[in-house]
Structure 1
Amino acid sequence: MPEWTDSALIIGVKKFAERDAVVSFLTQNHGRHNGLVKGAFSKRHAGDFQVGNLVQISWKARLEEHLGSVRAELLTAYAVQVLDDPMRLTALSCLCAMSSLLPERESVPEFFKKTLEQIALLRFDGWAERYVRWEADLLKALGFGLDLSACAVTGTTQDLVYVSPKSGRAVCREAGKPWQDKLLALPAFFQKASEAADKDELKKAFSLTGFFLENYVTKTLDCSIPSVRGRLIAALIDDRNG
């Protein structure tokens, strides 16, 4: 009988019977994994099984391919930390919903680490810029990583302002000028963690990651982008208009 214990982020909860739930987890070592949690909606576990919370889980099943049952212990209630801020709460929901694009049961420990770091930093300034860079981490975990380290044409690391929609590689201003209408914009802040982004830069960044999510990831996986992403982007742009 397969059985394991792991740290896990709750990324989805579906009610099953009166008090039980099928919960989707992003685990540290076992990838995206589902499991049946008995009593998830009981008084004893009130508030524990909220999307965005970090838990320690024990999963077991009769056979590896089965759904399996899960026992969980709350480690960090991230959802409560942003409950009084609608935009940050939407961002937390978006992080979890977007993580559901990952294939089941494929280990992504580095992405798990970066996701927890992003969630922990939601309470601080600059979280929106960090979020859109996290989408690039998601693309990498999905096998569609962007290469923004140097120009695909000249090899220079300076003045990188475009991204090829075919290769996902950066292109410098001079090399890309003849094809600028066909290239994607690379916002300056995207590569510099300390830089803040204005409304236009943020829109360019979301267009960049959104292009690859829409044209490569979702078509390959035959799925759609979670609608909460659109709501988050609209809220962020509206906030920066003010």
Structure 2
Amino acid sequence: MTSLATTAIICSVRAHGEHGAIVRALTAEAGLLPGYVQGGRSTRMRPVLMAGNIVRGIFRARTEDQLASLSAELLRSRGPLLGEPLPAAAIDWACAFTAATLPEGHPYPALYSALSAVLDAVEAAPAARGWAVALVRYELLVLAELGFGLDLSECAATGATDDLAFVSPRTGRAVSAAGAGVHAQRLLPLPAFLTVGGEASWADIFSGFALTGHFIETSLVDPRRAEILAARERLIERLKRAVA
């Protein structure tokens, strides 16, 4: 019998059988873990097993290959946010993205910390711009942790480390304004907040989403899993409507 008691972020919940649910939750020490929750669809457990919630989970399995049973105790609920369209869409995408892309059983402590920070920002920020920047950075971090990181350190054409304004959609390397030349229209805009920090306008934030979205679609998410990318599209459309 193997057992792990830990704090976990609920990332996805899928009905299984008449009353149960299969949950995927992100842990700091063991990464994304699946677990079967008996009675997971009951009125008592539904408020616990919501994306973005923090639980104290105990995973138990007879062998390493067996789907673990999971018992979960709620530590922090983000249920109240799910009634607000923008926060709900942000939580839905961040958690679905995590559940869809991370391999199970591989620890990613940096991603656990970053996802926790994104969810905290969604909960605490008075305006969406406060957490939208964090979400773009989280997408970049997921790409990097899974081996598809962008190289934003210097210009691929000139080697310059300043005036970086674009990213090659093919190589993921940064390109300066001078290095882009006549090819600028073929490149993806690189907002300054991703390289030098500072404040980000909504135009910059949407450029950041366009940048990460290109590599998420080409490198991470199978096009056949349209429902995953649809969650991201809903979020971005809601953001655009909110700032229009």
TM beyond 0.5: yes
Cα separation, partners in 2 of 1:79 and 1:169, compared to 1, 3 Å: farther
Aligned-pair CA distance for 1:36: 0.6
Match of residue 159 from structure 1: 163
Match of residue 148 from structure 1: 152
What is the correspondence of 1:11-90 to structure 2 with a 5 Å cutoff?
A: 11-80=11-80, 82-90=81-89
2:186 is paired with a residue whose SS is coil
Moved more, 109-118 or 175-184: 175-184
Q: Distance in 2 between matches of 1:181 and 1:86?
A: 34
Can you list the C-alpha shifts for 1:154-202, whole angstroms capped at 9, x where unaligned?
A: 332211101122221211111112321222110123335441322x333
Cα separation, partners in 2 of 1:229 and 1:46, compared to 1, 3 Å: closer
1:98 aligns with 2:97: yes
1:228 aligns with 2:231: yes
Can you list the C-alpha shifts for 1:197-216, whole angstroms capped at 9, x where unaligned?
A: 22x33332221111111112
Question: Is there any run of 5+ residues in structure 1 with no aligned partner, and where?
Answer: none
Match of residue 110 from structure 1: 110
Q: Distance in 2 between matches of 1:84 and 1:110?
A: 29
Q: Distance in 1 between matches of 2:56 and 2:86?
A: 27
Q: Distance in 1 between matches of 2:98 and 2:200?
A: 25
1:45 is paired with a residue whose SS is coil
Corresponding letter in the other structure for 1:209 = T
Question: Is there any run of 5+ residues in structure 2 with no aligned partner, and where?
Answer: none
1:209 aligns with 2:212: yes
What do you get for the CA RMSD once the two structures are aligned?
Answer: 2.0
Q: Distance in 2 between matches of 1:181 and 1:131?
A: 26
Q: Distance in 2 between matches of 1:6 and 1:17?
A: 26
* Preserved CA contact (<8 Å) 1:129 1:197: no
Moved more, 62-71 or 145-154: 145-154
* Preserved CA contact (<8 Å) 2:47 2:79: no
1:174 is paired with a residue whose SS is helix
Identical counterparts, % of pairs: 36
* Preserved CA contact (<8 Å) 1:8 1:56: yes
Aligned-pair CA distance for 1:223: 4.5
* Preserved CA contact (<8 Å) 1:165 1:183: yes
Corresponding letter in the other structure for 1:57 = G
* Preserved CA contact (<8 Å) 1:35 1:70: yes
Tell me the matched-pair count: 238
Q: Distance in 1 between matches of 2:116 and 2:45?
A: 22
Aligned-pair CA distance for 1:40: 2.3
Corresponding letter in the other structure for 2:102 = L
